[in-house]
A and B are shown apart, each in its own frame.
Chain A
């Protein structure tokens, strides 16, 4: 490796996060069990500083773009890139992880998982996501993915005496390992066909016709399968409901929010950039996965009594929408998916946050019936849950509508009108189970008169802000839409530039 191409400073946020995670790990050894608050605060500080560094990197990238230069800065001999797409995604991830810790503090304390491991492993999982978002090489990509996955396998198993959690961890691990295997197999085929691990190198060799097409197609099939597993798209979705249900809600939130952003950038770089020439091939595979996800996700969600399982199936259907944005293989579609994922992360965080704040020791708020008559017992929480549900259902004035609109626009714009019709038909079916939650909260009588657990004040305030953000972004979505589609456009341009070299 040539020292000049090391360029390590480009990766400042990751390097800082890595060092801090190690410091938190060491520091926690000297903090007594009863004073884990200190570690918690330190972790939040680390997250805040990481966010600041990422924002700086983002500003730098946007400045370069404004001056007409390429905003992508490469490091470690082109194995790592910092560009606006990665930086926007990373900001979302840091936010998503911070929300997990803030909402989950009281929940974790009551369940005895408010320990040092929680913080360090969470930080490492974040590091894994950030590496994934910046990877431009199969190796970096895979390392990031495994760092994320291993940290989360361990986290899910943290309540080690709890049968459901260990079962969930086991399932997640076995299927996750299988998915990694598939992905790795696919990547190795692509490597075999093109002789390179660099995404752009692979792309340009495929375009120039220097790769064995048969091998490339087979590789693509396995890569798409691996992606399907990681996103939780049908038919590779089996683990999602079980893991959501079994894992402590805190970790269901961690699995269900920020990593989706990492997965988005991962898919963008792997399929959108690396395998761009095979767009029609993987596009066709994604059509099947997307439609099946919409069908199974929405239909199965109707039958659920457990709200965590319901949210799991709802995630599957949302991932179907994300794939719909991808399968048109152009910048408009990717931008739509990016916006969808970004807003989904915010929405999902709010939904799990509400579940955790309403749980208390010895009582797990996880059945839809636990929300009965919530409007009478705590109108503010009921209103917030209402906003989350209508946003997920895609009813306007909430941000979920614009997420769906952007995907539908991408579909109709690329001539996939029939897919747009399928998508809206299944959103209609999806609306039913979101409406049912609202019905339970507003129309039913409460079963118990006991006041609802409301959680810590800081968590309450941030949760309220989070839910109001769904409305605010629904009324003023322009800034975020513009920024994210600009970032995607820049990344497409710089990827095209790299392929020409």
Chain B
């Protein structure tokens, strides 16, 4: 049974998606919704044993599945998770469940296609996190662009066409170079096994080129400054569910790519050029944080806030001291990835709740929402605090560890990074103040109804997750610890001959 857990995590949602798609037109929308709920719930339940049966003492791959796929090219269907990836498989399945609930009555047109797109994408994302074969990874990594492209383009806002094509081409641009990097590594090792890539000796110039290729693929996905410009567009135009998955999961895939590919495959180059990543991350943290401050569109604000938080994550990944990665920083960055998954999903859902009622995302169109939606305002308060990194919420754990690690490595880097705590609080809470507090601003706000049961359910689940992780993060960090230590060893080795 344990051998098939990852297979189930990938194929249950995809199969459910196909079944949902088969229900056809909107006359059977109700059926499509319930089937999608059942499918996403099943998809989530099959990932839970991945956590409960996870061996905390091992840094190796667990729940492995290995079958030959394309023998003539030595490509295998090889799945497995370690502490770096297992959390994201679960987080992804969890987010998909929330997305299905979040889109329940909001999506009225082409319901079956909407739900199917999310379910299929969920399976593909799980595949990308679990793949241990480079081509298998690439197939999942690219294939997930198709449903996301359709989600943004079909159910998105007014500039959805521009945003969806930009999203697709940007991400494709990055990943195509990685494909060449994979083929190059295949020529060196004779297989597409990622773990075999870790062992092959590589010269410095080859490592630098590989690092550049990985940078293009994963920095676009993260996204790091200056290749981040697709994200605000995609987020603003995507429907609420699309933004939730995009922020909570697909950005994490980019960061995961650095952990899985860049650091262990090109360790010497990573050490040599870590300063570039640190610099770009700091620009993201500081400059994008400032950009977020001046946004007038709530979704755009949260989108910039995501970039800023992800800058924190990449900063944590490249904190080298004496050739060794800082353990606190890496663990903190992974914790931040998970917490940002909850918090950003929650933020986008909150904005979606208001947008469904007022049909505006402009901060100026709101004011005094707390008067009409007290329950909603309390939840939103919690998530806003978490986004600002308040202690006791999920957002604090990761940021604290990253800053702690950064101080050990370089005080001034830590100093600059810590400014995110100020910027984060500033842009989030200022937006919160303008939207929620004050007098009722206009008649649209006056007519607001508080959250219904469905929305309450989503908010409550997210609130529990955010608080739970903030108060007792040990279960999460324990899972990652062994794998992070192993990664630190890999990143400290030299591949030069």
Binding site for B on A (CB under 8 A): 375, 379, 386, 390, 395-397, 401-402, 405-406, 408-409, 412-413, 417, 420-421, 424-425, 427-428, 431-432, 435-436, 438-439, 442-443, 477-478, 481-482, 485
Contact = CB atoms under 8 A, between A and B. Distances in A.
A481 B150 CA distance: 31
Q: Which 6 A-B pairs have the closest CB atoms?
A: A424-B176, A396-B139, A397-B143, A443-B153, A412-B183, A482-B72
A443 B156 CA distance: 9
B455 interface: no
Contacts of B160: 443
Given A395-B172, A397-B143, 19 more contacts: A375-B110, A397-B139, A405-B73, A408-B183, A412-B180, A412-B183, A413-B187, A421-B177, A424-B176, A428-B169, A428-B173, A432-B165, A432-B169, A435-B168, A439-B153, A439-B161, A439-B164, A443-B160, A478-B69
A401 B72 contact: no
A485 B150 CA distance: 36
A409 B150 contact: no
Given A439-B153, A443-B154, A482-B71, A405 B172 contact: no
B149 interface: yes
A421 B180 contact: yes
A477 B164 CA distance: 29
Given A412-B184, A417-B184, A481 B72 contact: yes
Given A401-B139, A443-B161, A409 B172 contact: no
Contacts of B143: 395-397
Contacts of A439: 153, 161, 164-165
B272 to A, nearest CB: 22
Nearest to A425: B176
Chain B interface size, under 10 / 10 to 19 / 20 to 34 / 35 or more: 35 or more
A197 B435 CA distance: 84
Interface string B323-359: 0000000000000000000000000000000000000
Contacts of A428: 169, 172-173, 176
20 contacts: A375-B154, A395-B142, A395-B146, A396-B138, A409-B73, A409-B183, A409-B186, A412-B183, A413-B187, A417-B180, A420-B180, A421-B177, A424-B176, A424-B179, A431-B168, A435-B165, A439-B165, A443-B153, A478-B70, A478-B72
B135 interface: yes
Contacts of A432: 165, 169
A375 B25 CA distance: 11
Nearest to A393: B172
Given A401-B139, A417-B180, A478-B71, A438 B149 contact: yes
Nearest to B136: A396
A interface secondary structure, majority: helix
A384 to B, nearest CB: 13
A396 B176 CA distance: 11
B481 interface: no
B145 interface: yes
A482 B113 CA distance: 36
Contact of A477 (B70, B142, B150): B70
Contacts of A396: 138-139, 142-143
Interface in B53-85: 69-73
A29 to B, nearest CB: 49
A442 B153 contact: yes
A477 B75 CA distance: 11
A424 B153 contact: no
Contacts of B164: 439, 443
A237 B169 CA distance: 27
A395 B165 contact: no
B324 to A, nearest CB: 32
A449 B62 CA distance: 54
B145 to A, nearest CB: 7
Interface in B101-143: 110, 113, 135, 138-139, 142-143
Contacts of B186: 409
Contacts of B183: 405, 408-409, 412-413, 420
Contacts of B179: 405, 408, 424
B210 to A, nearest CB: 12
A390 B168 CA distance: 12
Contact of B180 (A397, A424, A431, A485): A424
A424 B142 CA distance: 14
Contacts of B71: 478, 482
B160 to A, nearest CB: 7
A347 to B, nearest CB: 16
Given A408-B179, A428-B169, A442 B150 contact: yes
B70 A481 contact: yes
Contacts of B176: 424-425, 427-428
Interface string B280-317: 00000000000000000000000000000000000000
A484 B202 CA distance: 33
Nearest to A442: B154
Contacts of A397: 139, 143, 146
B278 to A, nearest CB: 28
Contacts of A409: 73, 183, 186
A412 B153 CA distance: 35
Nearest to A406: B73
B149 A435 contact: yes
A405 B69 CA distance: 15
Given A395-B143, A443-B154, A405 B135 contact: yes
A62 B187 CA distance: 30
A409 B183 CA distance: 6
A103 to B, nearest CB: 25
A420 to B, nearest CB: 5
Nearest to B70: A478
Given A396-B138, A412-B180, A424-B179, A431 B172 contact: yes
